[in-house]
Amino acid sequence: MNAALPPDRGQEPTPTQIAVIENLLISSDAPPQRGIRHLNLSFPSAFVHGDDAVTLVVGRMNSWNWISQDQADLLSHALHEAVGNAVVHGNRGHIEIMVEVELWADGQHWDLHVSDQGKGFSQRDALRAFRGRRRNLGNGRGLVIMASSVERMTFHHGGRTVVLGGRRVDGMRSG
Amino acid sequence: MSQQDGFGVLDQPPWTISRRGSVVIAEITLPRLFDPMLVDHLDRQLRTAVGAEDDLILDLTRVRFLSSAMLGRMVMLWLAAQKRGRRVVLTGVNETLSEILRIAGLQERVQAYADVATALATFAKHPS
């Protein structure tokens, strides 16, 4: 902690963080389907199920040598944030509404789709959350963590589906 | 302990809160802290435990993953401590968590030490 910083400094998003939010890609279209679908999980909107889903998906990707251990830890963070957003902001914690996680991949790249059944969000919503009064409670910070933890992050279905994407480690070796 | 107590399927809160003089030490024992109910509960307990003259050590030695919501609560605790002229520091931050703190813009703001003993020693050397 830098004690010399004035108290208000701690509340301000950095320019890099603002740039991440300003450059969010939010499309109304369905996400592209890369290669073939390797995993398809659907679970109730509860964190205990979300935890299991993240552990399973990242564990499989690691065991297939698609990601390194370092990437696995960062991806776990990103995927936890995505699933958390789907449970809390998308499905509003209604346990009977399902969250879907799909893993698509071709020989070089993988895509994780996390979908909820909420009303989606706009870039303006994200910027408002990030710059607004509640930003210190974490609003918007999760998006920055997700975007910074993977190679690609795009939103589809008006924000109801997030795609986290990266390059396969084994694909890089062979290709 | 029931589900209503906020710990979900856990029997006890996944943290312990102790005190050494004016330093409150919270050791989080859960590897993944993402459930917002747990985050809320921990936040409330910390706010109750930390008095106006207290510093806070958050020991993350056993934590692998931390939600952005928990990072947000840490910022609020840090800001509140700063206003009182006190400190909030982290201990046992692993490499991935360190990277997450950097991404979230908190690494330069919240000081981290290897372990609780080291942090306590700095509090003794440099009282707030």
Beta strands in chain A (DSSP E): 36-44, 98-105, 109-115, 152-156, 161-167
Q: pLDDT tens, B1-39?
A: 334 444 555 678 899 999 999 999 999 999 999 888 899
pLDDT confidence tier of residue A20, bands split at 50, 70 and 90: confident
- Chain B hits for A14, CB-CB cut-off 8 Å, are 105
pLDDT averaged over every residue in chain B: 88
pLDDT confidence tier of residue A8, bands split at 50, 70 and 90: very low
Inter-chain residue contact A47 with B88, CB threshold 8 Å: no
pLDDT confidence tier of residue A11, bands split at 50, 70 and 90: low
Task: Return the number of other C-beta atoms located less than 10 Å from residue A124's C-beta.
Answer: 9
- CA nearest neighbour of A136 among A2, A9, A49: A9
Q: Give this complex's ipTM.
A: 0.83
CB-CB: which of B65, B78, B103 is closest to A10? B78
- Chain B hits for A16, CB-CB cut-off 8 Å, are 105
Inter-chain residue contact B87 with A1, CB threshold 8 Å: yes
CB-CB: which of A51, A135, A148 is closest to B34? A51
Question: Which helix (H) or strand (E) covers residue B35, if one does?
Answer: none
- CA nearest neighbour of B26 among B40, B47, B53: B47
B121 interface with A at CB cutoff 8 Å: no
- Nearest CA-CA distance, residue B85 and chain A, Å: 9
Q: How far apart are the first and last CA of chain B?
A: 38
Inter-chain residue contact B72 with A47, CB threshold 8 Å: no
Inter-chain residue contact A51 with B109, CB threshold 8 Å: no
Q: pLDDT tens, B40-92?
A: 999 999 999 999 999 999 999 999 999 999 998 998 899 899 999 999 999 99
Q: pLDDT tens, A87-97?
A: 999 999 999 99
pLDDT attached to residue A174: 52
pLDDT confidence tier of residue A13, bands split at 50, 70 and 90: confident
B residues 4-23 lying closer than 8 A (beta carbon) to A: 8-9
pTM for this model (two decimals): 0.87
